[in-house]
């Protein structure tokens, strides 16, 4: 009887998604947004595993996103094997190295199915078939990468040139090709020799670590030391900062896949996108009869082939096409589709100027729930959502606070006294006061806070 194959998904949820600014911010990047679905891209990636015989996934994310990840997993009751927290981003080769070491420690030499949290795959059945066909190659110690069958001449993706056919399903890798110009992309599309480089992989944990050690021993040892000095805090595994910060930043393609003789590519014949820019987001969104994607608060006349979204405020659009309009609480983007590539230049300028709008998101997640900033101009108005059974402890500073409860029930400890609050109740908290507020029902406790 054959031993059961243990397939462990590894979901990489790092990255800033800056090309989708102002929807995506450093504090709340695109993998945590609902873009082309009622659920977030991270949740959709995990849902995509349903139907595969696999373990609960390992999630890798940045330290500052840990409570976002936790809430998105909890809200859908998603189980996980671990949440690895990178203190700094070091690209995909080290991230996968950390996951491989953690997997070896938890479950032994399992097969790792490495996925990005910000990809769209339309045909789940094709995805599952490609994964299942790849299992035998991974078990034979190959490093499998998935190459998407091109549907158009695309200059925004890297390509993989196929080599010899292996066992009627996978191919040797002839070469990796950087993002081409339009002429080369056209020739690649007409040829049957090229696949889009998806950045998804399947291999044994030991095989990846062996090749990483062979070609990038510096990354290998940095990851090993960082995992060996990890700190476990509830749901989270904190990677040792002083060890990992010394690790070089490198992609898995440059570090391993372009060097190893043990790599194969498995074709994936499904609509796929990394949603790397607004034209791609528009392309993958459900559009109206004028080929527009618009929010319910957007009103158009003689507008075509455009993407228009707004945060609460009404947007009226007249007489144009191929435009991107994104209206948020603190930033407005207006761009022609053909010029969206220049968003990267704007981001560089924002970084130089230290503009908070690049990084700052008006929703802040914490262990107890989240805080939503409603107004931070003259008066600070915030909405607090305390998750069921959780508590928030804090000390007011130079401003007094006024609370009005809008949902649920909670208990507040203030200056030695205890007060129970429910919907429509209010209270004042003076400056320099220590308080503890706790949700006491099975639902969240929500209140508005005004600081004066």
Of 16, 161, 6, give the one whose Cα is nearest residue 88: 16
Task: Give the model's confidence band at 2: pLDDT under 50 very low, under 70 low, under 90 confident, else very high.
Answer: low
pLDDT at 347 over 80: yes
Strand order in the sheet with 323-327: 293-294, 307-310, 323-327, 332-336
Task: Give the model's confidence band at 399: pLDDT under 50 very low, under 70 low, under 90 confident, else very high.
Answer: confident
Per the CATH hierarchy, to which homologous superfamily does domain 7-273 belong?
Spore Coat Polysaccharide Biosynthesis Protein SpsA; Chain A (3.90.550.10)
Q: Where in the chain are the domains?
A: 7-273, 278-357, 363-451
pLDDT at 282 over 70: yes
Q: Give the pLDDT confidence of 251-279 residue by residue, as tens digits.
A: 999 999 999 999 999 999 999 999 999 99
Q: Which of 132-144 are b and which e, b meaning 16 or more Cβ less than 10 Å from the residue's Cβ?
A: ebbbebbeeebbb
C-alpha distances out from residue 218 to 222, 224, 379, Å? 6, 10, 51
415/105: higher pLDDT: 105
pLDDT at 49: 98
Distance CA 363, CA 329 (A): 11
Q: What predicted TM-score, i.e. pTM, was given to this entire model? A: 0.92
Task: Answer whether 7-273 and 363-451 agree in fold.
Answer: no
Of 252, 266, 264, 259, give the one whose Cα is nearest residue 142: 264
Backbone φ and ψ for 180, nearest 5 degrees, come out as: -85, 170
Query: For residue 207, what are its two tokens?
Result: 């095989």
CATH code for the domain defined by 363-451: 2.60.120.10
């Amino acid at each position: 009887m054959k031993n059961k194959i243990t397939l462990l998904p590894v979901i990489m949820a790092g990255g800033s998604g800056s090309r989708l600014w102002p929807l995506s911010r450093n504090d709340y990047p695109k993998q945590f947004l609902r873009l082309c679905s009622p659920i977030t891209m991270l949740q959709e990636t995990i849902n995509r595993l349903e139907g595969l015989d696999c373990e609960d996934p390992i999630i890798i994310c940045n330290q500052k996103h840990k409570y976002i990840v936790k809430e998105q997993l909890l809200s859908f009751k998603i189980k996980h094997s671990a949440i690895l927290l990178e203190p700094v981003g070091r690209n995909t080769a080290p991230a996968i190295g950390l996951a491989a070491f953690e997997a070896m420690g938890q479950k032994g030499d399992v097969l790792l199915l490495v996925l990005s949290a910000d990809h769209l795959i339309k045909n789940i059945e094709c995805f599952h078939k490609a994964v299942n066909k790849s299992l035998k190659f991974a078990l034979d110690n190959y490093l499998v990468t998935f190459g998407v069958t091109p549907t158009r001449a695309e200059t925004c993706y890297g390509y993989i040139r196929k080599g010899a056919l292996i066992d009627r399903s996978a191919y040797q890798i002839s070469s990796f090709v950087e993002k081409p110009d339009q002429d080369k992309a056209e020739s690649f599309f007409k040829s049957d020799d090229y696949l889009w480089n998806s950045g998804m992989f399947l291999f044994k944990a030991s095989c990846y670590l062996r090749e990483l050690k062979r070609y990038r021993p510096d990354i290998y040892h940095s990851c090993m030391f960082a995992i060996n000095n990890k700190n476990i805090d509830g749901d989270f595994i904190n990677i040792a900062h002083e060890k990992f910060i010394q690790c070089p930043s490198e992609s898995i393609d440059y570090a391993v896949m372009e060097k190893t003789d043990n790599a194969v590519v498995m074709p994936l014949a499904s609509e796929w996108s990394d949603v790397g820019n607004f034209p791609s987001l528009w392309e993958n969104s459900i559009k109206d009869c004028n080929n527009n994607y618009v929010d319910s608060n957007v009103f158009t006349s003689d507008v075509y082939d455009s993407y228009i979204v707004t945060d609460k405020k009404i947007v009226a659009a007249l007489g144009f096409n191929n435009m991107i309009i994104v209206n948020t609480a603190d930033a407005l983007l207006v761009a022609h589709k053909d010029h969206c590539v220049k968003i990267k230049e704007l981001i560089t300028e924002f970084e130089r100027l230290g503009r908070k709008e690049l990084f700052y998101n008006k929703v802040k997640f914490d262990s107890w729930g989240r805080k939503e900033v409603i107004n931070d101009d003259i008066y600070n108005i915030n909405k607090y959502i305390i998750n069921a059974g959780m508590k928030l402890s804090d000390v007011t500073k130079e401003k007094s606070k006024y609370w009005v409860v809008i949902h649920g029930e909670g208990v507040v400890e203030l200056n030695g006294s205890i007060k129970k609050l429910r919907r429509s109740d209010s209270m004042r908290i003076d400056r320099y006061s220590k308080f503890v507020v706790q949700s006491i029902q099975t639902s969240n406790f929500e209140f508005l806070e005004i600081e004066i």
